[in-house]
């Protein structure tokens, strides 16, 4: 697999073309961003940890019957993925209230949400990823009506699979963000699932083990990600 030109430099990953028009290389960098790029720092080894973490989770999802873009690990901090036509939408599932929903709705941080709830956001840093609804998605043509249904259904299925997985490691999956894209007429899970895009709390102490450590300046960010990986039985090389 030959690495070709740089196609896209995001806040945390760089995407390269390959000699196969249907495949891309995703390079997970050490850059860590919060508040839509307002706070950015390099955290040593984060790229390698997240790349291998993402590979592990994507494989678990694939084993459970969820189709994803993930093909294979290429190195500590690079993976080969299927090239998707990404929808400009972020899907968020919440099991416990934290972050923006607490500010927006005035609900208490840590409140159990039963059943879990779901929100769509527009992927647009300049607008600070505003919350949108399914009518916006249809009226502005950001996705087809059946894709809207599929995103909700897949997100809740992924929630059930991963909630159980993290609980085995004594962690609560508080919330997470997913991105989907089109491939060959189907909707596949793209982008990443890592502690950069979810909230994970220790089940007993509710200690934060995710990017909230960076957002809130708590320190020990990559160490927390490694702890999560260790609890899930991953063997990470940095």
For residue 148, report the phi and psi dihedrals to the nearest 5 degrees: -60, -50
| Residue 102 interacts with ligand ASP (CB under 6 A): yes or no | no
30 touches 42 (CB < 8 A): yes
Q: Which of 1, 4, 6, 8 binds ligand ADP (CB under 6 A)?
A: 8
Shortest distance (Å) from residue 13 CB to ligand ASP: 11
Shortest distance (Å) from residue 12 CB to ligand ADP: 4
- Here's the x/- map for ligand TMP, 74-113, by CB under 6 A: it reads as ----------------x-x------xxx------------
Residue 3 CA, distance from chain mean position? 24
Tokens linked to 49: 């940890």
Cis status of the peptide bond prior to 206, with omega within 30 of 0: no
- Here's the x/- map for ligand ADP, 170-189, by CB under 6 A: it reads as ---------x-x--------
Q: What are the beta bridge partners of residue 40?
A: 33
Which residues in the 6-65 window bind ligand ASP by CB under 6 A? Answer: 11, 33-37
For 4-27, give one letter per residue: b (16+ CB within 10 A) or e: eeeeeeeebbbebbbeeeebbbbb
- Here's the x/- map for ligand TMP, 114-133, by CB under 6 A: it reads as -------x-------x----
């Amino acid at each position: 697999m030959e690495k070709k030109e740089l196609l896209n430099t995001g806040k945390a990953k760089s995407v390269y073309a390959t000699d196969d028009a249907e495949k891309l290389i995703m390079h997970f960098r050490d850059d860590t961003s919060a508040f839509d790029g307002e706070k950015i720092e390099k955290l040593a080894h984060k790229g390698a940890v997240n790349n291998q973490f993402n590979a592990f989770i994507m494989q678990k999802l694939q084993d459970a019957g969820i189709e994803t873009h993930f093909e294979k690990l290429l190195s500590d901090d690079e993976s080969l993925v299927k090239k998707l036509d990404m929808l400009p939408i972020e899907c968020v599932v919440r099991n416990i209230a934290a972050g923006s929903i607490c500010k927006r709705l005035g609900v208490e941080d840590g409140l159990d949400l039963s059943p879990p709830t779901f929100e769509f956001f527009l992927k647009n840093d300049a607008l600070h990823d505003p919350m949108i609804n399914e009518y916006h998605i249809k009226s502005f043509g950001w996705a087809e009506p059946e894709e809207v249904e599929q995103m909700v259904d897949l997100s809740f299925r992924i929630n059930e699979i991963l909630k159980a997985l993290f609980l085995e490691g004594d962690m609560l999956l508080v919330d997470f963000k997913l991105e989907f894209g089109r491939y060959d007429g189907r909707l596949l899970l793209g982008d990443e699932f890592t502690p950069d895009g979810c909230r994970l709390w220790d089940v007993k102490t509710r200690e934060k083990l995710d990017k909230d450590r960076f957002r809130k300046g708590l320190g020990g960010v990559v160490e927390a990600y490694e702890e999560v990986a260790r609890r899930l039985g991953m063997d990470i090389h940095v």
